[in-house]
Amino acid sequence: MVQVYGIKNCDKIRKTLKWLKDNEIEHHLYDLKKEPLTREELEEFVHRIGLDVLVNKKGMKWRQLGLSKKDLTDDELFDQLLEHQVMIKRPVLVKDGAMIVGYDEEAFEAFVE
């Protein structure tokens, strides 16, 4: 089963869920607004794929918080991400210990095989 982490009303999440359904891939959505990651879960994500990959620096929340103008340490950036999980780049797909980030149908095909 593929675990999908994101926000239900996000266009990329909707496209991802449609792709998974169309390709008959069993999946479960974890809506980060309703089921935020714990500190330990987010630490695991960061450990596996890196903070730079996980943070969406082009999103609205990043701009609203003015984070591009701040010189944040990794710990400070992690704390911001933990508090504002809408800044997690979407989708995050997890399957059998592997993880990918971002909408890419070719990568999805290789990932689910």
Token pair of 8 as six digits? 């239900």
**CA dist., res. 110 & res. 108, Å (int):** 5
Q: What is the pLDDT of residues 83-111, one digit of tens each?
A: 999 999 999 999 998 999 999 999 999 99
CA-based nearest residue to 102, from 112, 92, 110: 92
Active site residue 7: no
Beta-strand (E) ranges in the chain?
2-6, 27-31, 92-95, 98-101
User: Which domains can be identified in the chain, with CATH numbers?
Assistant: 2-112 (3.40.30.10)
Q: What is the pLDDT of residues 64-76, one digit of tens each?
A: 999 989 999 999 9
**CA dist., res. 110 & res. 100, Å (int):** 11
Q: Which of 10, 13, 32, 54 is catalytic?
A: 10
